[in-house]
Structure 1
Amino acid sequence: MLQDKIAQYTDKINAFVTEKADELEQFRIKYLGSKGIIKEIFDEFKSVSVEEKRSLGKVLNEFKQLAESKYLTLKESTENSEAKTENTQQDLTLPGEGFEIGSRHPLALVRREIVEIFAKLGFTVAEGPEIEDDWHNFSALNFPEEHPARDMQDTFFIKKGGEKGDIALRTHTSSVQVRMMEQGQPPFRAIMPGRVYRNEAISARAHCFFHQVEGLYVDENVSFADLKQTLFYFVQELYGEGTKVRFRPSYFPFTEPSAEMDISCTICKGAGCQFCKYSGWVEILGCGMVDPNVLENCGIDSKKYSGFAFGMGIERIANLKYVIKDLRLFSENDARFLKQFKSALI
């Protein structure tokens, strides 16, 4: 009879005990599975007489609830037992797993090294806003109104008009030089590191933002010879003794005379490679004597004082120092790239 079968399986369920997950899973399949004993008994229940259904219905439901309750109770007990066993197997005397130490960004490393080199020559660090007006970014620096740098294709303009002209993201940190000279009188000896913005297409060799370090030295009787010796010292400190330097005439609105400075390629040691376009030389900065008009615009007597200025891209310096050929790597935050600089954490 069906009732005897239910009673037989009820005794087996009550007697079943285990702490093993695989045995408990077999119990679930045997009794509660889609082809299990309970499913078979319910199929048999459909064929019994109406009188038997009245008496067996309640018994059958209690039998199903018993199997489900037994399974859930043993499942909780088994999980707790496994967790306890796992904890007791841990050796608490072993050293902990430490956190992975991060690394400094290569641009931060190069920036700090540049600052430290110029600090030995008495240069302090000056900073200014990244959002600038026309006066500090262009006009005070001798940029004529028709200069291409004022075009929207080269500059990110934010707001039209204003007391001191259009508002834009600064295109160079020379604006910090203007603010320094407006707020005091010489002597000035400072460098201006910071982020700048140009409206350029992003590629391996160009980006819409990059980082500069500009320098300014204004005092009485400052000459171009002072400029050359300062930059020569900087190159020897940064790239090592024996690095060759050359100056080429150039043009910048805010300096006169102006020059661009090249160094012997650090990748091929001057022999010629793809990076230096097989010339053996790489341009790293622009420089020159501060134009007297710039001094006068900032309220400084150009007949009494003279000075020099220079500017370099930190990305270009890092390219040469670490042989990094794609500028986009500096801003993509790829951990695989950044981990290469762990050795320079100090």
Structure 2
Amino acid sequence: MSGIPDLTVLAEEAIAAIAAAPDLDALEAARVRFTGRRAPLTELLGSIGSLPAEDRGRVGKDGNAARRAIEDALQSRRDALESDAMGAALEADTADVTLPGNAFPLGALHPITQVALEVEEIFLGMGYSVADGPEVETGFNNFTALNTPDGHPARSESDTFFIEGGDDVLLRTQTSPVQIRTMQSGPPPVYVIAPGTVYRRDDVDATHSPMFHQVEGLAVDEGLTFAHLKGTIEYFLTRLLGDRDVRVIPHFFPFTEPSVDVSVSWTDRNGRTDWLEVAGAGMVDPNVFANVGYDPERWTGFAFGFGLDRIAMIRHQISDIRLLYEGDLRFLEQFS
């Protein structure tokens, strides 16, 4: 607990400063002070993975609660200040404000973006941080470091989009390279998720697209086992999708051993029930640790990858993934 600020005191201080903000400029300064990139609360939430294991869950929960309370206070004060400003402007204006205005259509987040943000919120509460990386990657980060050697089918042009003129440069086929970059940047323990867009030469059908979205996770620590992986996946799916049947079957991935496929039951709008694969997972192969300079005799870890598009399909009973990419406002407005 040494070095961890009192989150209750921090939230109370922030709320008091927000309530005392006399104008929008002062409110913006308070926002930056308490929720900006370098705010103590932001830095604490971003470093949860480095805290002792017994503190991570509590600090993540309390930290997120404090952040929500501060954000609610910011919104409430902003609404009040804007209302006061509008009232003052109306008093000084002789325009007839009773005339009807022009209606503008309101936008909304895409259903995949909605799912991605909810996934991030769940894992932040579990003590994970969120990392990002480039969509144009090297063959080393996308394949070699992940125990996928030259000659593997995944490295062929029939499966992967390579960049013309590049020296083994490609569009990433997974967000796992972000995990490699994270491990290369510092020592364990590591608890990180990496959401993003990925590309594969898949034929387009109801459940496949050559461009889709993933969130991959990595946990590296001393003493992690398959039981920790299973518990993490089950907790996450329950939080995100509610109580559903989950099927875990053995599979093979070059970068994990043992490896599994994870599927959940889902029912489309026509009442048909089936299994839909949503994740691949497993224990990190020791060769991957060796490739990034981690001692595989000391550290163990697990990795998982979820398809955000398929989770959105399950959540909203969407039977065809192509509907998510066609940009038909009549379809997208249902999720606003």
Tell me the TM-score normalized by structure 1. 0.67
Q: Name the CA distance, whole Å, in 2 between partners of 1:302 and 1:253.
A: 16
Deviation at 1:273, TM superposition (A): 5.7
1:301 equivalent in alignment to 2:295: yes
Aligned residues: 242
1:221 equivalent in alignment to 2:226: no
Aligned position for 2:74: none
Q: Name the CA distance, whole Å, in 2 between partners of 1:149 and 1:160.
A: 20
Q: Name the CA distance, whole Å, in 1 between partners of 2:306 and 2:271.
A: 22
Deviation at 1:334, TM superposition (A): 1.1
Aligned position for 1:207: 209
Deviation at 1:206, TM superposition (A): 1.7
**Conserved 8 A contact 2:120-2:130:** yes
| Structural mapping, 1:98-247, within 5 Å | 98-159=103-164, 162=167, 166-240=168-242, 242-247=243-248
Q: Name the CA distance, whole Å, in 2 between partners of 1:184 and 1:286.
A: 25
**Conserved 8 A contact 2:262-2:280:** yes
1:290 equivalent in alignment to 2:291: no
> Which consecutive residues of structure 2, in runs of 5 or more, have no partner in the other structure?
1-95
Q: Name the CA distance, whole Å, in 1 between partners of 2:219 and 2:192.
A: 7
Q: Name the CA distance, whole Å, in 2 between partners of 1:160 and 1:290.
A: 33
Q: Name the CA distance, whole Å, in 2 between partners of 1:98 and 1:297.
A: 57
Instruction: Give the % identical residues.
Output: 50
Deviation at 1:231, TM superposition (A): 0.7
Distance 1:261 1:203, change over 3 A: closer
Deviation at 1:322, TM superposition (A): 0.5
Aligned position for 1:323: 317
Aligned position for 1:66: none
**Conserved 8 A contact 2:195-2:213:** yes
Distance 1:123 1:101, change over 3 A: same
Q: Name the CA distance, whole Å, in 1 between partners of 2:267 and 2:230.
A: 20
**Conserved 8 A contact 1:173-1:194:** yes
Q: Name the CA distance, whole Å, in 2 between partners of 1:159 and 1:300.
A: 33
Distance 1:329 1:259, change over 3 A: same
Tell me the TM-score normalized by structure 2. 0.68
**Conserved 8 A contact 2:268-2:318:** no
Distance 1:266 1:308, change over 3 A: farther
Deviation at 1:267, TM superposition (A): 4.8
**Conserved 8 A contact 2:265-2:273:** no
Deviation at 1:127, TM superposition (A): 0.5
SS of the aligned residue for 2:173 comes to coil
- Which one-letter code corresponds to 1:317 in the other structure? I
- Which one-letter code corresponds to 2:156 in the other structure? D
SS of the aligned residue for 2:163 comes to strand
Aligned-residue Cα RMSD (Å) equals: 2.0
1:93-124 alpha-carbon deviations (Å, 9 max, x no partner): 23313322111100000111111111111111
Aligned position for 1:61: none
Q: Name the CA distance, whole Å, in 2 between partners of 1:311 and 1:266.
A: 22
Q: Name the CA distance, whole Å, in 1 between partners of 2:267 and 2:300.
A: 33
Deviation at 1:208, TM superposition (A): 1.3
- Which one-letter code corresponds to 1:243 in the other structure? R
SS of the aligned residue for 1:230 comes to helix
**Conserved 8 A contact 2:268-2:319:** no
| Structural mapping, 1:20-39, within 5 Å | none
- Which one-letter code corresponds to 2:292 in the other structure? C
Deviation at 1:261, TM superposition (A): 1.4
Aligned position for 1:64: none
**Conserved 8 A contact 1:266-1:321:** no
Deviation at 1:336, TM superposition (A): 0.7
Q: Name the CA distance, whole Å, in 1 between partners of 2:164 and 2:296.
A: 33
Deviation at 1:247, TM superposition (A): 1.5
1:95 equivalent in alignment to 2:100: yes
Distance 1:275 1:130, change over 3 A: farther
SS of the aligned residue for 2:193 comes to strand
Runs ≥4 in structure 1, deviation > 6 angstroms? none
Distance 1:207 1:92, change over 3 A: same
Aligned position for 1:310: 304
- Which one-letter code corresponds to 1:214 in the other structure? E
Deviation at 1:289, TM superposition (A): 0.2
- Which one-letter code corresponds to 2:173 in the other structure? T
